[in-house]
Amino acid sequence: MDDWKSVAVGITTDGFNPYGFMAAIYSCWPVYVIPLNLPPGVCMQRHHMFLTLIIPGPNYPGKHMSVYMEPLVDDLLVAWNNGVRTYDAVSKKHFNMHIWYHTSLHDLPERAIFCGWCVKGKWPCPVCRQHVTFIWLAKGHKYVCFDQHRQFLRVDHPYRQDTMNFRKGFIVDVPPPPIMTGTQLKDELGALEKNLSGKGFVGYGETHQWTHIPSLWRLPYFKDILLPHNIDVMHTEKNIAEALLGTLLDTEKSKDNIHARTDQAQLCNRPKLKLVPRAKGNSWKKPPAPFTPSMPQRKEILQWL
């Protein structure tokens, strides 16, 4: 149809304190809609981002985010089914502009409240979900995805049988986790049963980590979207790059700390990385990792930068 045009939009939100660095604790959440049909350098400009909702504080919305999102989802349903009468300045004609949701942009915690899957605990990956179980670090007191990558290799890959360079004495013979379709996810959400108390679902933390059913599943085409949620570039650059740089240069923000060395001694066969007791006192010395540059090498790296 000549008079039918569609616009893909993205949704993004994040909490901030409108009172700045004052003592008042207040979490306010603006929700923006961004048209994605424009070029990348244009769609993220301020005058092309539309403020559609302001979720007031003072508390973190959590799984109640879907309640606040209901009016926006209603508008998306109308814009998809009926369209919005729009004037085309080029052809000087009116047409019905249909709008469809394409993806959302967040950091990982906000992605959790949008997709409904808790990203804490033993199944923090919102894509693999309960098919990939993370490892609990006794000293680090957290779950990590160490050595979970080998199951994504082909079945006959030699790394799967390597018991020396990964987790000591551990081989991986499980196949890669299945990639669930949107229809399968919708069926899984539809099969959830409420607890007798009315809070949460039966089996939470045992068979799944679904916290709620997001309102975006009301969209008739949502199950067909291949990438309904995204991790935005800014948080990826800041968090991952900061952790990598701190670990490589062995700064105070390094992930290669005393607790990590203690845990790796239990998991891996890497004697060169074990903590060494000092000659005096009860302290321990952390041997440098193979990837940590020496002081002259660091100076050369910084001069190159």
* Tens digits of residue pLDDT in 196-251: 887 889 999 899 999 999 999 999 999 999 999 988 888 788 888 888 888 988 88
User: Tokens in use for 216?
Assistant: 């975006």
Given a cut of 80, whether residue 134 has pLDDT beyond it is: yes
Angle at 290 between CA 288 and CA 296, to 5 degrees: 70
Q: Would the pLDDT of 143 be above 80?
A: yes
φ, ψ of residue 99 to 5 degrees: the values are: -120, 135
CA dihedral angle for residue 180, residue 181, residue 182, residue 185, rounded to 10 degrees? -30
User: Are the CB atoms for 188 and 131 separated by under 8 Å?
Assistant: no
User: Alpha-carbon dihedral of residues 27, 30, 31, 35, nearest 10 degrees?
Assistant: -140
| CA-based nearest residue to 51, from 73, 71, 31, 75 | 31
| Residue-level pLDDT at 9 | 93
The per-residue pLDDT for 23 is 65
User: What's the pLDDT band for 296 if we cut at 50, 70, 90?
Assistant: very high
The pLDDT confidence band at residue 32, using thresholds 50, 70 and 90, is: very high
Mean pLDDT across 93-111: 89
Report the SS3 class of residue 298: helix
pLDDT at 4 over 70: no
* Predicted TM-score of the model (pTM): 0.83
Q: Show the beta-strand stretches assigned E in 91-211.
A: 93-106, 135-137, 142-144
pLDDT at residue 1 tops 60:
no
- Token pair 């033993």: residue: 122
Q: What is the pLDDT of residue 253?
A: 85
